[in-house]
Chains A and B, each alone.
Chain A
């Protein structure tokens, strides 16, 4: 069969098919690769992703992600928009962690214009970002459990997410697409009652929800056996593919933009960066589970140091005009490094805005991860990449 020989040269297929075996099987017709579409309307693809899979029985020979079903032309549209207008539209990229997109656009423009944020705005931005990371990882936990066939954790994850979304709703006025950050600060301040409720939520999550997650799924023997050694991405491969976020850290690379770049108040917070060892599904799950606890730690420290004051920088000019030049800024989102390359020729609108989407880069690894594994593990591996199709397609 055409293509089997090339597939067999892949290192992970050694032992599944040697080139000779593949050639012989193709001659005899005992191997019959079957091409099957997974998606785009499939609940386990986390949106509208189509994976063209070539199977031999249950073994995946090739998994080819076909993207673009949610393409909205973000990069071109924003070229005709003013800078403050871009901020709410950037929410729609990574819709499960919208705060990070806003932060990225705001940071790019603030860096270009040299706007200094007030202390309270900086701390609150970090609080909102980490709360959003917590919520996003909860959602990942639920959907990953669904992907590997456990339905109950999904309901628990959504139950706990609800309170966090209520907190977002109280502060920002929306549950998912916040439109909360403004160039120069935040749209509105939060009250002390809100801060107290956030503390209550963190206590609840740490004491009740998180141990329940561990008991329900993470410590479960079936889950561990099912995830261990599946979808392995070695360190070198992860780096070569440009993976970022938990995907990279699970492979053993201690790389986090929160440490690499100076933004927010992360440099004043004490937190760990969890890393994995083998880069399999279990490691990626471990990294994300530990990151939830780290996020809680960061939020608590931020709330302790939350100063009084304005949330909007009084020196922000009324008309946002970016000088000529180009800037690349990046932010650590729950999915990895989001980068924005802002090119300006001066004026009210950007000349070019390139969005580096972490899901888009991480998704390329799907083919590597799943070759030679079973089709059910393909779904599981796809779940640990934690893709957001809004961001993949932009």
Chain B
């Protein structure tokens, strides 16, 4: 191929490429100005496991069985059952902490829970300045459940 031919081909293909970008000029821009404009999440978006509150009794569904803690790959869920005055274990947690800084958001804890006590929240705006702020306690997780949309997706339902 001679130099002239090559130059001609370069010019032609460049023009074709510019046509593509020119077409874009007449289209709606797809940019979303995120912090100002909200970005909707689909149902089932995973952000943080939160504790479900029973709407009738106002208490947590959690029975502190510890299955979620055992299923957690990085072992970041810390559960302790409530010990009553009689010295016996009660069916509710005294402590349910979650270290979000190490969470893989894999949904395994939600799937492991047999009491429908854990759900995945879609509240993704949880960033903090220190790692300590990403350590969520029981009450914080219950409060997150109340303020955000949470679902439990496990066991093959259609999404």
Contact = CB atoms under 8 A, between A and B. Distances in A.
Contact of A219 (B13, B73, B156): B13
B19 A85 contact: no
A295 to B, nearest CB: 22
A221 B73 contact: no
A311 B156 contact: yes
A173 B44 contact: yes
Interface residues of A, number: 39
Interface size class of B (residues with CB under 8 A): 20 to 34
A212 B42 contact: no
B73 A88 contact: yes
Interface in A217-234: 217, 219-222, 225
B159 A191 contact: yes
Contacts of B19: 215
B20 A212 contact: yes
B159 A220 contact: no
A190 interface: yes
Contacts of A217: 17
Interface stretch (A9-17, A51-59, A181-189, A368-376): A181-189
A169 B45 contact: yes
Interface in B13-70: 13-14, 16-17, 19-21, 30, 41-42, 44-46
Contacts of A212: 20
Contacts of A311: 156
14 contacts: A170-B159, A173-B44, A173-B45, A173-B159, A174-B105, A188-B155, A188-B159, A189-B159, A194-B159, A215-B17, A216-B21, A217-B17, A219-B16, A222-B14
Interface of A: 81, 84-89, 152, 156, 159, 162, 166, 169-171, 173-174, 177, 179, 185-191, 194, 212, 215-217, 219-222, 225, 310-312
